[in-house]
Structure 1
Amino acid sequence: MSVFLHFLFTHLIYYTLGVQACRQFYTVRYTRLPNLLEEFKIAKHQADGSYTKLMKKLIKVDLLILDEWLLYDLTDEEATLLLEIINARYEAQKSNIYCSQFDFKGWYEKLGDGVYGTLAEAILDRIIHQGSRNIIFEYFSNNENSQ
């Protein structure tokens, strides 16, 4: 049942909001957060400027839909990359949709702790202060990961 609900939820977000934005001539990109972070990790270690090109390409997108937002705890490298992505989009005044199975209150812990708690604070600060351009969708299933 929860797989069906996830499919239904993703369908609702992408096809309703994403397609509607496209119909109004906005550019939209839908991706899973783990895939986006992996794409940036690979690009960052290339010597051909792939990271900069990828960031510029992502900044041009009017609406970024991030599914499976914080499904897994982030590594230090991933939290740093996420801050760079969120900050670049924040400065470019672009819109984001965050689709998460977790309550917003639990995001801080998933973004990092210790010294990297400052990264969590910086990421959440940009999301909160860009509130008029961000949408946060939380959907909960009955599994133990939903808190």
Structure 2
Amino acid sequence: MFNRSVIAGLGTCSFIDRQQNVVFQGFTGSEKSYLGCALAKAACLHRVRAHYIRMPELEEAWQMARDKPAGTTKFLNKYTAFTLLVIDEWLLDEPDESTRSMLLELLERRYDQASTVFCTQYAQRDWHQRLGSGVHADAIMDRIVHNTIWVETGGHNMREHTADLVTV
């Protein structure tokens, strides 16, 4: 289970003032999405502009933006403007070349300017390969791994645990 004092510290949103990122990594059902949403809500309560999006939805928005005049610029400006951006289901599917380019540009614009929360099932050691193992992967990783708070949410599926309690 995760360290409750770390979670309480994140709830103060001081990591946002320091432009730090947060990674919630753990087994499916281990409360990553819940924690990411809780941080976005806490940020809003602190009057910080926050946004939650699932990675598949971010990729879909990117694909739609590419088909519009100035769409990519508007897309990047929109997601750069959030002081806190929560990306859930990070690297659930391996991104294509276009998405990797977008991620690099988005994370470059956010680096040392804003905070990003990543909710993922994959350990950091697997990210490079899932990002395509090339130069883009190197650059994306470089903009995430430094100045990031890593929280292991564990291997216990809370949905399964809750279902067991209901059936008992």
2:123 is the counterpart of 1:103? yes
Confirm or deny: 8 A CA contact 1:63 1:97 kept in the other structure.
yes
Aligned counterparts of 2:153 and 2:94: Cα–Cα separation in 1: 18
Please list the CA deviations of residues 53-72 of structure 1 after superposition, one character each: whole Å capped at 9, or x if unmatched. Answer: 22112111000000000011
How many correspondences in the alignment?
131
Q: Which residue of 2 aligns with 1:121?
A: 138
Higher relative contact order structure (alpha carbons within 8 Å, sequence separation ≥ 6):
2
Query: Structure 1 residues 77, 84: closer, same or farther in 2, change over 3 A?
Result: same
List alignment gaps of at least 5 residues for structure 1. Answer: 143-147
Amino acid at match of 1:10: S
2:49 is the counterpart of 1:32? no
Amino acid at match of 2:103: L
Q: Which residue of 2 aligns with 1:64?
A: 85
Give me the TM-score of the superposition, normalised by structure 2. 0.69
Q: Per the alignment, in what secondary structure is the counterpart of residue 70 of structure 1?
A: coil
Confirm or deny: 8 A CA contact 2:55 2:89 kept in the other structure.
yes
Aligned counterparts of 1:33 and 1:138: Cα–Cα separation in 2: 19
2:40 is the counterpart of 1:18? yes
Identical-residue share of aligned pairs (%): 32
Q: Which residue of 2 aligns with 1:45?
A: 67
Aligned counterparts of 1:79 and 1:30: Cα–Cα separation in 2: 19
Q: Which residue of 1 aligns with 2:21?
A: none
Please list the CA deviations of residues 90-123 of structure 1 after superposition, one character each: whole Å capped at 9, or x if unmatched. Answer: 16x110001100111000000003xxx1000000
Please list the CA deviations of residues 15-69 of structure 1 after superposition, one character each: whole Å capped at 9, or x if unmatched. Answer: 2x1111111110110001121122112202212x222122112111000000000
Could you say which structure has the higher helix fraction? 1
Q: Which runs of 4+ in 1 moved over 2 A?
A: 134-142
Amino acid at match of 1:19: K
Query: Structure 1 residues 96, 82: closer, same or farther in 2, change over 3 A?
Result: same
Amino acid at match of 1:67: D
Measure how far apart 1:136 and its partner are: 4.4
Please list the CA deviations of residues 67-88 of structure 1 after superposition, one character each: whole Å capped at 9, or x if unmatched. Answer: 0000111211111111111111
